């Protein structure tokens, strides 16, 4: 149990977990799906804070389960539904179709980013 301390968090109906590894967006999503979950996706402030706790523990930016849709600047959950909770950093999103993924900064705010950078894997179950 001690090995998992800080690596797993419960928030509402979700369980969040990270192995501390950094990979690109597609690999992060595949890792979460292989484990039976998906990328951590904050649906409210409480969930954003829980994900932030893991981001702070590893002091690494993390990909979120949100991507830019077909329309520039329209971000959607991985299931295609429009995002109804956001915590964009000031002047974000600003990638205008070149930054289709979303990362969480170590202050809990979000930034649109290219999907090929290595970011912390945080899964939700």
Q: Is residue 4 situated within a structural domain?
A: no
Please indicate, yes or no, if residue 54 is contained in any of the structural domains: yes
Confirm whether 19 is domain-assigned: no
In a domain, 120, yes or no: yes
Query: Which CATH number is 103's domain given?
Result: 3.10.100.10
Distance CA 94, CA 48 (A): 21
Q: What is the pLDDT of residue 2?
A: 47
Contacts 24+ apart (CB under 8 A), 83-88: 84/43, 85/42, 85/43, 85/44, 85/45, 85/48, 86/110, 87/42, 87/45, 87/48
The structural domain count of the chain equals: 1
Residue 43 domain flag: yes
Please tell me the pTM assigned to this model: 0.92
Per the structure, the complete domain to which residue 95 belongs is given by: 31-124
The predicted structure's pLDDT at residue 5: 61
3 located within any domain = no
Answer whether residue 89 is part of any domain: yes
Q: What is the pLDDT of residue 56?
A: 96
pLDDT in tens, the chain (125 residues): 445 666 788 898 999 999 999 999 999 999 999 999 999 999 999 999 999 999 999 999 999 999 998 877 889 999 999 999 999 999 999 988 899 999 999 999 999 999 999 999 999 99
Q: Establish if 95 belongs to a structural domain.
A: yes
């Amino acid at each position: 149990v001690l090995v998992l301390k800080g690596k797993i968090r419960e928030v509402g109906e979700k369980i969040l977990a990270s192995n501390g590894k950094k990979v690109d967006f597609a690999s992060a999503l595949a890792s979460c799906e292989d484990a039976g979950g998906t990328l951590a996706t904050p649906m409210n402030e409480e969930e954003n804070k829980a994900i932030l706790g893991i981001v702070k523990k590893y002091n690494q930016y993390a990909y979120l389960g949100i991507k830019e849709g077909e329309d520039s600047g329209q971000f959607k959950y991985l299931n295609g539904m429009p995002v109804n909770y956001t915590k964009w950093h000031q002047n974000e999103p600003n990638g205008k179709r070149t930054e289709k993924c979303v990362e969480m900064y170590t202050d809990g705010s979000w930034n649109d980013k290219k999907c090929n950078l290595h970011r912390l894997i945080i899964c939700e179950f």
